[in-house]
Each structure stands twice: as structure tokens, then as C-alpha cells.
């Protein structure tokens, strides 16, 4: 069965738009995690970025405490975040590249160019009982380097596929790249996840890729929830207002 990990970063993005720098605010990512699990999600993904643009430190600790499925912490391979991950001990970490100027993660890790540093972090995480995934482009050199590093998973970056799909051309070529990469990873003993830019329109096409274990999807689900849940939210607010009698 293909599993779904729901990335709830953008629940925090909405909160930070109004409550940045405050100790509390809405919506609460932890409550979002509860709802996603209740809906059947197989895991919860959060990215604790160095610039803390959405998920905050307090969020990861609260989510780690309440998640009953599987917590996946996306993280850069930097000393501060590695130290937090080793203390937090999520079920799995996914190491991603990170640039402060990017809107969202723009590409995969250069595993081949950073094998020693990634292998060291992988060992530290595994020694702490945490599995490791590496976020990589569907490139054979990066897949082979990920196996040498000793990662348990690779997460294939599906951004190029998603972009080509939305533009109406080239999706077949990107699907072939993902298929070749997934087969190579599987052959090297790596388990295969995928994510980035996946949505309700392009997901059916992605199902052609073999050996997938889990898809990590966030923005599309959070965006859809704003619309599919909006009617209920308005009705709840109206119900709360109904008892008002103007102080008479």
C-alpha cells in the first residue's frame, strides 16, 4: 500500500503571517497533525528551516509528542538542526538542501559532492534510532551516492515532473527519469519515497513509477482544505453568533 505523509508546514505559514514572533497563534500545526492522522494519513512531515519561516521549534516538540503514526523531520545538514534532530528523535529525518532566498526547496541534494558529511550525519541519526532519507533529483549518480552514504531511503524530487505536467508537455520524459531512478534505488536496497509539487491533478500519472513507499504532500492538501473546509468554518461561526440578543 502506498503511504501518505502530510506536510503541514503551510499551516504554520498561515499562522506566522499574523502571529510571527508570538508564543501562540492560529492555526495550530499540532492540531492539523491530529486531523491528518484522524483522516488516515500514515505520517506527518514538518520542515524546521534555519530561518524558521513557518514551523517553529515549539511546533516540532509538540508534534513529536502527539503524533501516533510517524514523524518525518525535513532538515538541512547543519550543526544546529542536526543537534535538534538528535534530541527530538523523530521516526525519520529527510535531509534536504536549503537556501534562505528560495520560496521552497528548489532541487535535490548534491549527495555525490558531500558524501563524507552526509555519511557522518546518517550514522549519528541511525545510532540514535532515527532512519535517514536523502532528498535527491532522479539522477543515477545521486542515487548511487545515497546508497554509499548508507541512507535507508531516498525521496525523489518530483518538482520537474510537476512543472512539466502543469505546462502540458514533457511529463512522460520526467516520469521515465523517475522510473529509472526508482528502479535503481530499489536495486541498491534503498526504499523510495517521492514528493514536491504533487497535487490532485498530477498524482494519478505519478502512480506509474514503481517501488514507491510513501508520498510526502503538503501545499496542495493545505490549499484544498481552505476551500473544502471553508463552508463548515463559516457555519460554525454563524452558530456561535446565533445566541446574540443585543444585550437586551
Gap between the Cα atoms of 182 and 157, Å rounded: 11
Domain ranges of the chain: 72-240
Contacts made by residues 183-186, CB under 8 angstroms, sequence distance 24+: 183/210, 183/211, 184/140, 184/143, 184/144, 185/143, 185/146, 185/147, 185/154, 185/156, 185/211, 186/210, 186/211
The pLDDT score that the predictor gives to residue 244 is: 67
The pLDDT score that the predictor gives to residue 103 is: 53
The pLDDT score that the predictor gives to residue 237 is: 84
The pLDDT score that the predictor gives to residue 99 is: 72
Closest CA to 199 of 155, 154, 161: 161
* Model pTM score: 0.92
The pLDDT score that the predictor gives to residue 57 is: 97
The pLDDT score that the predictor gives to residue 241 is: 83
Q: State the catalytic residues.
A: 47, 74, 196
Q: Considering the domain 72-240 in this protein, what is its CATH number?
A: 3.20.20.70
Residues of the chain predicted below pLDDT 50: none
Gap between the Cα atoms of 176 and 171, Å rounded: 9
Q: Is the dihedral of CA 174, 156, 7, 80 positive or negative?
A: negative
Gap between the Cα atoms of 44 and 70, Å rounded: 6
The pLDDT score that the predictor gives to residue 125 is: 98
Angle at which helix 171-187 crosses helix 159-167, to 10 degrees, equals 160
Gap between the Cα atoms of 134 and 4, Å rounded: 17
What are the residue ranges of helices labelled H in the chain? 9-19, 29-38, 57-66, 79-88, 115-127, 140-149, 159-167, 171-187, 203-206, 219-228, 230-241
Closest CA to 44 of 24, 25, 64, 28: 64
Mean pLDDT, the chain, rounded, equals 94
The pLDDT score that the predictor gives to residue 102 is: 56
Amino acid at each position: 500500500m502506498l503511504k501518505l505523509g502530510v506536510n503541514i508546514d503551510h499551516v504554520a505559514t498561515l499562522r506566522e503571517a499574523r502571529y510571527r514572533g508570538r508564543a501562540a497563534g492560529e492555526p495550530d500545526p499540532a492540531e492539523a497533525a491530529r486531523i491528518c492522522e484522524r483522516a488516515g494519513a500514515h505520517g506527518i512531515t514538518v520542515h524546521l528551516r534555519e530561518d524558521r519561516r513557518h514551523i517553529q521549534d515549539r511546533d516540532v516538540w509538540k508534534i513529536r509528542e502527539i503524533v501516533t503514526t510517524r514523524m518525518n523531520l525535513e532538515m538541512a545538514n547543519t550543526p544546529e538542526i542536526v543537534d535538534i534532530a538528535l534530541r527530538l528523535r523523530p521516526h525519520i529525518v529527510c535531509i534536504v538542501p536549503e537556501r534562505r532566498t528560495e520560496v521552497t526547496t528548489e532541487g535535490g541534494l548534491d549527495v555525490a559532492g558531500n558524501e563524507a558529511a552526509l555519511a557522518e550525519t546518517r550514522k549519528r541519526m541511525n545510532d540514535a534510532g532515527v532512519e535517514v532519507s536523502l532528498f535527491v533529483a532522479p539522477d543515477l549518480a545521486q542515487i548511487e551516492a545515497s546508497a554509499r552514504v548508507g541512507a535507508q531511503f531516498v525521496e525523489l524530487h518530483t518538482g520537474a515532473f510537476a512543472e512539466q505536467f502543469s505546462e502540458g508537455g514533457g511529463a512522460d520524459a520526467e516520469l521515465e527519469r523517475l522510473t529509472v531512478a526508482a528502479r535503481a534505488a530499489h536495486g541498491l536496497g534503498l526504499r523510495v519515497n517521492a514528493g514536491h509539487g504533487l497535487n490532485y491533478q498530477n498524482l494519478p500519472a505519478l502512480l506509474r513509477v514503481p517501488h514507491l513507499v510513501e508520498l510526502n504532500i503538503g501545499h496542495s492538501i493545505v490549499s484544498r482544505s481552505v476551500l473544502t473546509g471553508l463552508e463548515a468554518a463559516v457555519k460554525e461561526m454563524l452558530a456561535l453568533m446565533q445566541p446574540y440578543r443585543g444585550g437586551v
